[in-house]
């Protein structure tokens, strides 16, 4: 559990210091955590797909990703020391919170805790787990990636359709380095982390929608939690995926990747509206979100390109700034490459 805490919280917070110049909002620590995790996810996708296609052992991927994380941490520490942003600065409120606001935040925290406890305590029967969680368990046990049938354990040819979105392999990596079983990591640990990350992103979006803070932001979070709690009106809702199937890549795509992309586009639009220079790390984060979408699901390549393209064209027309379409197009190029690779290999 300590190793998983370092991997899922400690290292992303350190790596997220690279994006300190983008942290012009409330919740700087949350932004560092989420942005750092996205950079790690993007690196895992870039490293794992070539190794999977070449039929390499899972152990080689584990060592390669360790080296990637170590290099990112060293770079982030050096970057933070150089910019003087190595230490985390706590936001100081100009006025004390009123008792009504504290009550609202207490309700928000209680509802979040209830959801996390229920996600761990209750077991949700889902047919997709028979494939995705089994892939993680098979990868951990056999040291191969997508070369065994998850239902029977027999050897098979490489499944290109699923291997281009190796989110289960990332779960197997967590299980391998922590010594826990892949099923335990997927069913018990990841729901707590990924649901918390979803609400962290919702909080950051709310901080942009309600910059004055106060009780409005707390009410926004409470109503968001209510929508999630009572959102299981269909088997395919985002709320169902968030609470009951958070360990699946398509759930992370709908509840983490796309909301974080919306937040990044809000930051981008604000800088264009105020005629400020868009920092390179912001474009880097958009590119990391695009690659992470491909890690979660092959459909992520299409959805990310559509979202970025529509937002970019709308901003270019509204603010008459067409030059920034080029870096946005560059951010979408990984999605185009993975989509072409899917068309070539999945037949």
Angle in degrees, 0-180, between the axes of helices 299-319 and 258-273, rounded to the nearest 10: 10
Compute the average pLDDT of residues 170-198: 93
Predicted pLDDT at 87: 52
Confidence of residue 347 (pLDDT cuts 50, 70, 90): low
CA distances from 160 to 8, 22, 145 (A): 28, 37, 11
Report the C-alpha gap between 234 and 289 in whole angstroms: 27
301: CB partners within 8 A, 6+ apart: 290, 293, 294, 335, 336, 338, 339, 342
pLDDT tops 50 at residue 94: no
Confidence of residue 285 (pLDDT cuts 50, 70, 90): very high
Least confident of 180-184, 211-215, 298-302, 324-328: 211-215
Structure tokens at 280: 């390179």
Give the H/E segment covering residue 1: none
**Which pTM value belongs to this model?**
0.92
Give the H/E segment covering residue 19: none
Closest residue by Cα to residue 4 from 179, 134, 137, 143: 179
The residue with greater pLDDT, 98 or 4, is: 4
Q: Please answer whether residues 221 and 115 qualify as being in contact, where contact means their C-beta atoms are separated by less than 8 angstroms.
A: no
pLDDT tops 80 at residue 82: no
Structure tokens at 305: 């390109």
The residue with greater pLDDT, 322 or 48, is: 48
């Amino acid at each position: 559990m300590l190793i998983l805490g370092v991997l899922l919280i400690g290292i992303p917070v350190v790596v997220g210091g690279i994006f300190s110049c983008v942290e012009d909002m409330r919740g700087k620590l949350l932004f560092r955590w989420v942005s750092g995790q996205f950079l790690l996810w993007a690196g895992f996708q870039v490293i794992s797909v070539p190794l999977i296609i070449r039929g390499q052992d899972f152990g080689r991927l584990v060592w390669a990703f360790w080296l990637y994380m170590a290099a990112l941490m060293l770079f982030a520490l050096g970057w933070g020391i150089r910019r003087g942003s190595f230490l985390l600065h706590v936001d100081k409120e100009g006025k004390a919170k009123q008792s009504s606001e504290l009550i609202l935040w207490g309700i928000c925290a209680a509802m979040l805790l209830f959801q996390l406890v229920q996600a761990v305590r209750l077991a949700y029967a889902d047919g997709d787990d028979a494939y995705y969680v089994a892939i993680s368990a098979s990868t951990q046990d056999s040291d191969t990636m997508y070369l065994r049938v998850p239902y029977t354990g027999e050897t098979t040819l490489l499944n290109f359709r699923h291997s281009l979105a190796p989110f289960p392999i990332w779960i197997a990596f967590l299980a391998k380095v922590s010594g826990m079983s892949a099923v335990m990591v997927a069913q018990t640990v990841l729901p707590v982390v990924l649901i918390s990350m979803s609400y962290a992103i919702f909080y950051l979006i709310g901080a942009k929608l309600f910059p004055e803070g106060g009780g409005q932001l707390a009410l926004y979070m409470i109503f968001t939690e209510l929508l999630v709690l009572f959102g299981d009106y269909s088997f395919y809702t985002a709320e169902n995926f968030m609470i009951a199937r958070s360990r699946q890549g398509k759930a992370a795509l709908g509840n983490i990747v796309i909301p974080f992309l919306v937040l990044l586009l809000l930051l981008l639009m604000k800088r264009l509206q105020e005629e400020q220079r868009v920092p390179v790390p912001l474009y880097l984060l958009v590119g990391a979100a695009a690659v992470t979408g491909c890690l979660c699901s092959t459909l992520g390549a299409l959805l990310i390109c559509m979202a970025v393209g529509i937002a970019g064209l709308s901003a270019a027309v509204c603010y008459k700034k067409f030059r920034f379409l080029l870096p946005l197009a560059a951010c979408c190029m990984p999605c185009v490459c993975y989509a072409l690779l899917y068309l070539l290999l999945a037949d």
